[in-house]
A and B are shown apart, each in its own frame.
Chain A
Amino acid sequence: MVAEANRENIMSTIKIKAKESKGSVTVRTLIKHPMETGQRKNKKTGEKIPSHFIQEVTCKANGEEVINVYWGPAVSKNPYLTFVYEGSKGDTIELSWLDNQGNRDSNKVTAK
């Protein structure tokens, strides 16, 4: 458990910035992910590169779900997402993703 927590802190694939202004929290996030469409071919071998993309992103603020995102392979590599919700400074924002190969990651940040 400890190892997992450390891994999340140091090597998380998710960068989150959340800033509060006039009762709205703007969340901006960048996720490190190849987002392979499954249509590209390896130029040397001619083999198709299997699809590998994030399908679902969920964000919770203080444990309550604020947005649930479905992504297809047409979302850019290292995807960027921004959204706004009604909240306040100090909210705990937890963002997690799940890809089509079953990998997942999550990260937490406090709204500033």
Chain B
Amino acid sequence: MNRRKFIKKSLMTVAALGTFSALLIKPKRVYAAWPKASFDITDLSKSINSVYGHNNLSKTTKVKLKVPDIAENGAVVPINVKTSLKNVESIMLFVENNPQPLSSGYMLSAKSKPVIGTRIKMGQTSTVIAAVKSNGKVYSASKEVKITIGGCGG
């Protein structure tokens, strides 16, 4: 092996090793695209439409939405949703009067139970809607929350 060949070979090995380690360092999971379009919409019905492709939310008592009647601080409004519906694929939370109604979405797996809780910001008094997708249909429950101090202006 002459010198030139040796250098070429060693360079190739380094390159191969580089690719291999790049694969190892790569994030464990490629994140699915965050639905930016849906989060950017400022109109409630358009927002619901962009998530489900339609606006047919059937109201049901099987979706339990637990929110305070009056929230003193709009920056922290606790929300709890649970449902007795089966095969729940996702739970989405909408706040009608927020600048962007879609606040958050929860994609469930076969193992997860349809119970979620979080805290959201609300700019003003508004109806909060919890939409649950089960067996391809969308069910909802809504409730008004009165806000004493808005949580979006700061």
Instruction: Judge whether B34 and A66 touch: CB under 8 Å.
Output: no
**In the assembly, what is the distance between CA of A64 and CA of B80, in Å?**
24
> For residue A100, which residues in chain B have a CB less than 8 angstroms away from its CB?
34
Q: Quick one: CB contact mask for B83-106 with A, threshold 8 Å, 1 for yes?
A: 000000000000100111011111
The answer, yes or no, to whether A39 is at the interface (CB within 8 Å) is yes
**In the assembly, what is the distance between CA of A85 and CA of B75, in Å?**
28
Instruction: Judge whether A40 and B154 touch: CB under 8 Å.
Output: yes
The answer, yes or no, to whether B59 is at the interface (CB within 8 Å) is no
**In the assembly, what is the distance between CA of A98 and CA of B32, in Å?**
11
Instruction: Judge whether A75 and B103 touch: CB under 8 Å.
Output: yes
Instruction: Judge whether A67 and B75 touch: CB under 8 Å.
Output: no
> For residue B105, which residues in chain A have a CB less than 8 angstroms away from its CB?
69-70
Instruction: Judge whether A67 and B99 touch: CB under 8 Å.
Output: no
**In the assembly, what is the distance between CA of A7 and CA of B26, in Å?**
19
Contact of B119 among A58, A65, A75 (CB under 8 A): A75
How large, as a class, is the contact surface on chain B? 35 or more
**In the assembly, what is the distance between CA of A56 and CA of B27, in Å?**
14
The answer, yes or no, to whether A68 is at the interface (CB within 8 Å) is yes
**In the assembly, what is the distance between CA of A104 and CA of B154, in Å?**
26
Nearest residue, chain B, Cβ from A86 = B111
Q: Quick one: CB contact mask for A67-85 with B, threshold 8 Å, 1 for yes?
A: 1111111111101111111
Instruction: Judge whether A87 and B121 touch: CB under 8 Å.
Output: no
Distance (Å) between the CB of B43 and the closest chain A CB?
Answer: 15
Nearest residue, chain A, Cβ from B121 = A74
A79/B113 contact (C-beta < 8 A), A39-B152, A40-B154, A74-B95 known: no
Q: Which residues of A are in contact with B by a Cβ distance under 8 Å?
A: 24, 37, 39-41, 55-56, 58, 61, 64-77, 79-87, 98, 100, 104
9 closest A-B pairs by beta carbon, nearest first, are: A82-B117, A74-B103, A76-B119, A70-B105, A84-B113, A68-B107, A40-B154, A55-B34, A85-B112
A and B contact pairs by CB, cutoff 8 A, 22 listed: A39-B152, A40-B152, A56-B32, A58-B31, A67-B108, A67-B109, A70-B104, A70-B107, A72-B100, A73-B39, A73-B121, A76-B76, A76-B121, A77-B75, A77-B76, A80-B117, A82-B117, A84-B112, A84-B113, A85-B109, A85-B112, A86-B112
